[in-house]
Structure 1
């Protein structure tokens, strides 16, 4: 319609494929994936192990380059976005330095960028409060639980104020109780930061609880099987996990997996 604003997607993939050369034979990890993610949206990439979820995340982050297809980040190439530090990445393992205090782990990216110590210290205080660890800045990572370590990793990823937060199964190593609690805490953090989040998981309930939309990937090679809108209101609550609507969404997503 006339007068309608044209919004550039925060993340756009068009016919993206990724083939790895393993020496003995080529492995097609991702096949012709096209998707669009809006600015400020929380989406999950959901699928079984080996379906290309992490590969897609690495492609978005420009850690690897696609064999074919196009990737745009807010209208820029993935490489331009990476150089402009538009990304924060949280990996499956926190990857913290045990000899650095928690606050120094958080500000490491700022230190590497040459940010002055006073500014780093102020930023560390803000981020520690954001992730609920304001009393643990002087501790060392080995003194914290696994869930607390992952919150430190999230704080570190947010230290450069990235527009996009990429999360690769960050809670998969935790027990179910800790994982559900951190799901709630992540949404609380996101409600304050309001950046775009792409979250990789193989847990259907986790993807539903967190996301605005769930991108369902088929088994190897990874193809975009379907996109599921999650109509649950925000803020999400623990009680929603036991609602009929939640179980209906679980059943609907499970039915969409190809080959199952």
Structure 2
């Protein structure tokens, strides 16, 4: 393991910003591909809580294409919850809480997947592997504090076997590569028989400035356990170190 002289996150040792600000990362509208900016905040689909749009018009226009995967996500979640209802830890809102968790920690989870698959060193890993995160559920008033990290695993991309989810990942993959990216990173969240697949389109190598880290698992646990959603990674560029 490498020895580091600074934490993986620029704000690792600082208290969270109040009110907590959601770090959305670099997103593009699923309809028109407009990138998100500080002045243009995206809206999430209320069904899957993962697909994002720059406007209500784009969301409405994209619905005929998004409807199948969105409704499929909801139906699969309900079936999984019903199957897990005999467990004392089962919660009727578990699937929705899991999607909220993924949304709140988008930047952190994408960064952790990038580091776990060592995409800076071996970009081709994005086509073969995925990051699986097993979560434990704890009732809490704040949605981002209802889960803790139980374990993490590197699994083959074939771990995802749902045809509609695979098709959605492939669509994103083709769009990402068309724009010069290296592909779609797959992060899988799993808790109590319910799972959430989080596809992350990764920028071309020339734009990847995140430092390669081997301590990603401890950083992931730190921010999740503390309920912080203000993760800011450190990047090294030709102009110096960039915090955030």
TM-score by length of 2: 0.26
Find the structure with the greater CA-based Rg: 1
